[in-house]
Amino acid sequence: MEEMSLRGKVAIVAGDGRAWDRYIALALAEAGAEVVIAAPKPEEAAQEVRRLGGRAVAIPVDVTKSSEVEKMVARTIAEFSKVDILVNSADLEFAKPLLEVTEEEWHRVVEANLTSVFLCSKAVGKHMLEQKKGRIINIASGLAVRGLPNSTAYCAAKGGVLQFTKALALEWARENIRVNAIGPGWFSKGEVSDEEGQQDPLLRYLPMRRRGHPSELGVLVVYLASDASDYVSGQIFFVDGGVLAHA
């Protein structure tokens, strides 16, 4: 579908170096976008995009630091003159009983998972508002809507991403900026052998009896980044192998 094409679009993938940063960037590039990969160590992912024949710029950045985020966006604008798509993909997993969570750990989890979304959306949003067009896609979690013991900090942060998505979608709806989220379930970090997969104790709780692969987020990201999703905003799409069907 021509509406799914991202040719001529500029996308920022603002993450933390998890496996899905790379796969999201590759999917966007395959759809035709020019991609900025903003993460602590982005060069390897950028090289993979270039091997596909796409244009990629690697910008080392800590997405929890406002000064670094502002410089990253300024460099993107200097390089491409615009930003059409922002994917906030940072994800810091954290599990610990609440009474054992330190104040420092709480802030670290919230900053990585929620503050990063705020900082990047604010910095990029200024330019999208000037353009009167843009797409913001936040990587949340199934735990944004479902609790999990010993994961209070993570659930709270990802729940915040969901509410941030909804509120910002309403705030910028008339500016032609669409804001949506994706809620992954349990995913592998990349390639997993059949033997390793069969030994995974989590599988008995997953309806499809396997974890998701990071590449399975790519097509949905492309859809939400494209004109095909022009009437979609403020939504969270779960990619979890059916886990939330239990709820």
**Amino acid present at 160:** G
How far is residue 25 from each of residues 131, 176, 196, measured CA to CA in Å?
Answer: 23, 23, 26
- Are residues 188 and 214 in contact, defined by beta-carbon separation less than 8 angstroms? yes
Which candidate in 154, 205, 223, 231 is catalytic?
154
- Are residues 89 and 13 in contact, defined by beta-carbon separation less than 8 angstroms? yes
In order, the DSSP letters of 194-228 are HHHHHT-GGGGGSTTSS-B-GGGGHHHHHHHHSGG
225: left (phi > 0), else alpha (psi -120 to 50), else beta?
alpha
The residue behind tokens 């979304």 is: 117
Cβ neighbourhood burial of 37 (10 Å; 0-12, 13-18, 19+):
buried
* 231 catalytic per annotation: no
Question: Rounded to whole angstroms, how far apart are CA atoms 181 and 212?
Answer: 17
Taking alpha carbons only, the member of 120, 91, 116 closest to residue 19 is 91
Catalytically active residues, by annotation: 154
